[in-house]
C-alpha cells in the first residue's frame, strides 16, 4: 500500500507566497483580506507589497464590492476569507457585483467543510461549491495540494472572470510534484482501473487513493480521478470512464446535494447512465470537533468509499 504524507509546505504558505510573486510580476494584482491575514499568511504581503494589500476588516460583503471596484479600473483582485463567508455570506455581492457586472474577482474560501473544526457549525460550509456552481459564468475548483494551488493561482490571474477556489489552510497531502501541469476544466487521472471509477476532490482525493489500494489487494482495479474543477466539469472524461467501468463513486468534503456528486450525476443521467454512489455529508449541519472526529462522524473516509464501491460490484 502507498504511503500518504502530509506536505511540509502549508497550503496557506503556497497561497501567500505565490500572490507575493504575482504582485512583483504585475502591479495590477491586489490582495484583499477580511481581517484574516495571519490565518492565511498574507500578513507577509502587507510588509513586502503593502501598496497592493488591503485589509477590509470583518466586512466580507464590502470586500467583494472593493474587489469589484478594483476590477473596474483594470486591477486583478484576489480575496480571501473562510469558506462560509466567501460564499454563503457574500453570495449576493459575488452574484451581482461579480458575475452579473462581469467583473474580474478571484476568491479563496478556506477551510471548507470539516476543516472548520473548533470554529463549529457557524463556520462550517458544506454548501460552498453548490452555491458557487449556480452563479452563471463562475469557475469553481477544489484544490488538492500546494503544487496545484500555485499552478492554478497563476492560471486564474490571467483568466478573466469569477473564479472560486475551495482549499484547506494547513495540512494537505502531497499528491503532485512541482513539474505537474493542470488544465482548468480537465480532471487528473491518478490511477487506472477497469472495474470502478472513483471521482474525488479536495481532501477526499487521498481517501480515494487509500480505498483504491485496499481494493487492489482484493483484486479490484479502480480508476481514481481528481476532479479539481467542478465547474466546468470534465464531461468528456466522465463519459470515457462511464463506458469503461461498471460504476462510479464520488467523494467530497461537502453536502452530497449540489456538489461534485450532483455534478457527476447530471452528466451521467443525461448522457450515459451507470450506477453511482455518493460519499459526502448527508444533508447535515456542521459541529465542533477535532478533524479525526469530524471525518469519522460525517463518514468522509476511505472506509466509506470502500463500502460504497463494494455496493456496485
Mean pLDDT of 185-212: 97
Q: How far is residue 296's CA from residue 121's CA, in Å, rounded to a whole number?
A: 16
Q: How confident is the model at residue 277 (pLDDT cuts 50, 70, 90)?
A: very high
Looking at the chain, the whole-number percentage of residues with pLDDT higher than 90 is: 96
pTM for this model (two decimals):
0.96
CATH number at residue 206: 3.40.50.920
* 139-142, strands of its sheet edge to edge: 53-55, 29-33, 76-82, 106-110, 163-167, 139-142, 229-231
Instruction: Report pLDDT digits (tens) over 39-97.
Output: 999 999 999 999 999 999 999 999 999 999 999 999 999 999 999 999 999 999 999 99
Domain identity same for 200 and 147: no
Instruction: Report pLDDT digits (tens) over 282-306.
Output: 999 999 999 999 999 999 999 999 9
Asked whether 199 and 250 are in contact (CB, 8 A), the reply is yes
Instruction: Report pLDDT digits (tens) over 34-49.
Output: 999 999 999 999 999 9
Count of CB atoms within 10 A of residue 266's CB? Answer: 13
Nearest to 313 by CA among 227, 218, 243: 218
Distance of CA 97 to the CA centre of its chain: 22
Please identify which residue in the block is written with the cell numbers 460564499: 87
In a domain, 178, yes or no: no
Domain extent, residue 249, equals: 186-309
Q: What is the total count of domains within the chain?
A: 2
In a domain, 134, yes or no: yes
Angle 53-59-64 (CA atoms, 0-180°, nearest 5)? 65
Phi then psi for 106, rounded to 5 degrees?
Answer: -105, 125
Catalytic residue among 7, 21, 38, 60: 60
Instruction: Report pLDDT digits (tens) over 129-166.
Output: 999 999 999 999 999 999 999 999 999 999 999 999 99
Q: How far is residue 294's CA from residue 288's CA, in Å, rounded to a whole number?
A: 8
Count of CB atoms within 10 A of residue 62's CB? Answer: 14
Q: How confident is the model at residue 1 (pLDDT cuts 50, 70, 90)?
A: very low
60 in catalytic set: yes
Please identify which residue in the block is written with the cell numbers 467542478: 230
Domain identity same for 145 and 32: yes
Amino acid at each position: 500500500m502507498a504511503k500518504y504524507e502530509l506536505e511540509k509546505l502549508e497550503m496557506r504558505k503556497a497561497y501567500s507566497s505565490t500572490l507575493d510573486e504575482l504582485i512583483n510580476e504585475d502591479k495590477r494584482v491586489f490582495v484583499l483580506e477580511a481581517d484574516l491575514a495571519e490565518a492565511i499568511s498574507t500578513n507577509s504581503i502587507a510588509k513586502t507589497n503593502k501598496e497592493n494589500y488591503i485589509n477590509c476588516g470583518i466586512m466580507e460583503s464590502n470586500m467583494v464590492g472593493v474587489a469589484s471596484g478594483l476590477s473596474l479600473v483594470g486591477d486583478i483582485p484576489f480575496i480571501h476569507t473562510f469558506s462560509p463567508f466567501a460564499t454563503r455570506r457574500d453570495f449576493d455581492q459575488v452574484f451581482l457585483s461579480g458575475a452579473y457586472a462581469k467583473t474580474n474577482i478571484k476568491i479563496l474560501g478556506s477551510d471548507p467543510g470539516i476543516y472548520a473544526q473548533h470554529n463549529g457549525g457557524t463556520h462550517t460550509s458544506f454548501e460552498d461549491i453548490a452555491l458557487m456552481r449556480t452563479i452563471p459564468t463562475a469557475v469553481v475548483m477544489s484544490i488538492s495540494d500546494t503544487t496545484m494551488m500555485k499552478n492554478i493561482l497563476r492560471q486564474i490571474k490571467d483568466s478573466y472572470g469569477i473564479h472560486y477556489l475551495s482549499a484547506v489552510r494547513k495540512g494537505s497531502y502531497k499528491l503532485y510534484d512541482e513539474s505537474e501541469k493542470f488544465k482548468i476544466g480537465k480532471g487528473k487521472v491518478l490511477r487506472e482501473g477497469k472495474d470502478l471509477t472513483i471521482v474525488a476532490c479536495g481532501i477526499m482525493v487521498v481517501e480515494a487513493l487509500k480505498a483504491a489500494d485496499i481494493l487492489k489487494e482484493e483484486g479490484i482495479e479502480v480508476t481514481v480521478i481528481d476532479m479539481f474543477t467542478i465547474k466546468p466539469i470534465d464531461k468528456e472524461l466522465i463519459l470515457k470512464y462511464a463506458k469503461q467501468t461498471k460504476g462510479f463513486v464520488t467523494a467530497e468534503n461537502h453536502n452530497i446535494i449540489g456538489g461534485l456528486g450532483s455534478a457527476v450525476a447530471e452528466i451521467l443521467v443525461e448522457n450515459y447512465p451507470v450506477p453511482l454512489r455518493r460519499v459526502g455529508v448527508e444533508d447535515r449541519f456542521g459541529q465542533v470537533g477535532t478533524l479525526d472526529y469530524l471525518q469519522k462522524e460525517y463518514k468522509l473516509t476511505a472506509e466509506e468509499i470502500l463500502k460504497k464501491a463494494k455496493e456496485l460490484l
